[in-house]
Amino acid sequence: MTRVWKWNRPVTVREVLEDLQQERSIAYTTVMTVLDNLHQKGWVRREAEGRAYRYEAVSTRAAYSAALMNEAWTQSDNPAAALVAFFGMMSAEQREALRDAVRMVQGPEETPAPQNPVTENPAAENPPVEKSAVENPAVENAAGENPAAAGGETGR
């Protein structure tokens, strides 16, 4: 599937074979069997072109990954705990990508006007800014605690 997604267009067994052979020795029939299996499973569609087929991914790699994550999450007996554990495994870059994705899904939110560092009343506090659900998840574990608030990284 990696090769099919890589080209993002219909590919032949020969094209996949030649690409794979740059890294290792592999038989034409092996590639043909794998692509046929992927077709039978519904991951790729194929269209006849002469005596060969052209194979094309049914969904994007991102959509496939999302479906796998959703399936794993929905099969959990405690989805909130599963998410907290998953977030805990993420790198800082992955958490930032998650924050970006949440912002994209939520849509534009009102942001406070930029504050002038020199104000008439320097002791005045800036208005509070709501944290996103990713930065401050309202998820409690079985003990009623918020694991993210108990030492997990919640800021940038």
Q: What is the pLDDT of residues 31-73, one digit of tens each?
A: 999 999 999 999 999 999 999 999 999 999 999 899 888 998 8
Q: What is the pLDDT of residue 111?
A: 52
* Residue type present at position 7: W
| Paired sense of beta strands 52-57 and 44-49, if any | antiparallel
Q: What is the pLDDT of residue 47?
A: 96
User: What is the DSSP annotation of the chain?
Assistant: -HHHHHHTS-B-HHHHHHHHTTTS---HHHHHHHHHHHHHTTSEEEEEETTEEEEEESS-HHHHHHHHHHHHHHT-SSHHHHHHHHHHH--HHHHHHHHHHHHHHH-----PPPPPSS-S-TTPPPPP-PPPTTTS-----TTS--TTTTT-----
pTM (2 d.p.): 0.54
The two tokens of residue 59 are: 């969904």
> CA torsion 77→152→129→80, rounded to 10°?
0
Q: How confident is the model at residue 151 (pLDDT cuts 50, 70, 90)?
A: very low
The string of pLDDT tens digits covering residues 90-136 is 999 999 999 999 999 998 765 555 565 554 444 444 444 444 444 43
Q: How confident is the model at residue 78 (pLDDT cuts 50, 70, 90)?
A: very high
